[in-house]
A and B are shown apart, each in its own frame.
Chain A
Amino acid sequence: MTERDGTPPDGSRRDALPDTEGRREPGEAPVDGVVLSEEQRRRRRSRSVAIAVVLGALCVLFYVVTIVKLGPAVLIRPL
């Protein structure tokens, strides 16, 4: 049990955490301990969009550079 495998430092597990809000029924799925605020959710979304844009741009860049490096000869091929 370490911090790296997702277990909290005190050795407890997320699904063993007490239901502090008292809404959990026996047998019901465990409530996760981390709830994002609206601001955190909004910022995570903007980070995700930025990563998507960067990855898309990299794909375009690699495609264009490949065409440039291969040159017009890439179109000359036996059919």
Chain B
Amino acid sequence: MTSIITRRRFNFGAGASAAALPLIGTGARAQAPLGVGFIYVGPVGDHGWTWTHDQGRLALEKEYGAKIKTSFIEKVAEGPDAARAIRQLAQAGNQLIFTTSFGFMNPTIQVAKQFPNLKFEHATGYQRAENVATYNARFYEGRAVIGTIAGHMSKSGQAGYIASFPIPEVVMGINAFTLAARKVNPNFRTKVIWASTWYDPAKEADAAKALIDQGCDIITQHTDSAAALQAAEQRGVFAFGQASDMKAFAPKAHLTAIVDDWSGYYIKRVKEVMDGSWKSGDVWHGIKDGMVKIAPYNDAVTPAARAAADEVTKGIVAGTLHPFTGELKDQKGTVRLKAGEKASDELMSKMDWYVDGVQA
């Protein structure tokens, strides 16, 4: 069972408005299904970040059927106003609420205080409470895999990287990608364009074109649309998908994609609420736990590149390979990791420096 509350979206027809009605007054009665709510920052139709969270919600419905009742509010602006949307879900009888963007952190904590009996889960944040847990994915592991492929597949030894904002999450990805590529080709260079937006398809496409003009023959991105892939397809160079498998947009260019898969975590946490074992905590899951996945390789990926990429994936899963292993220096020559040392989560979550080979 699903009910959809859409803000800033016009509900034409009785069906849409009727679907929103049953939410009001569904208190926690005995035998009633467990209410699970989601707050999304983007539209479900972004085919990226929000879409992957909604796939997680759908996986929940498939797993638990009539035992749960999910609902979501999409396109919720980050910041104070989000509290209203979170409170709406809390008052509608949901017992577990996922808030799926960094900017929902303070509103989530605030609403959680008002509803001490409900459980909250906030994605990518760092503030926790008795009834607020946090979760995030180790996307940098996926970056290391695609970086390895880029090192093998690039003829010019130059990749173009369309990035959003210089926050640790993005910087970490750029470094992991470049380090992996330079293991294959020591002269590999990554040219970064800061788009200063998460989402502007035309600008992302133009950035890709500019990078290709400057000699990059591999395009990767940390922005949300598939426009850069389309530009790569048009110009006949390779590219990687972001957040979801984007092969449909660029059948020839799309080598593989880093896919976010939240379903395993969501299913586990809902079960814990059902049997009363839910506790607040913090998880940062990666390839090993299935939260980060690598999409099927394109036929164009050479056997050598496949083998090397699989090797990296296996090493990460086995724990023998960490994308950030010393000795590691930043561009100024400061030693960030001693020989053999593996980066701590603390170091990575504060990363504000670049490795050699990055032009940012």
The yes or no verdict on A and B being binding partners is no
B residues adjacent to A (C-beta < 8 A): none
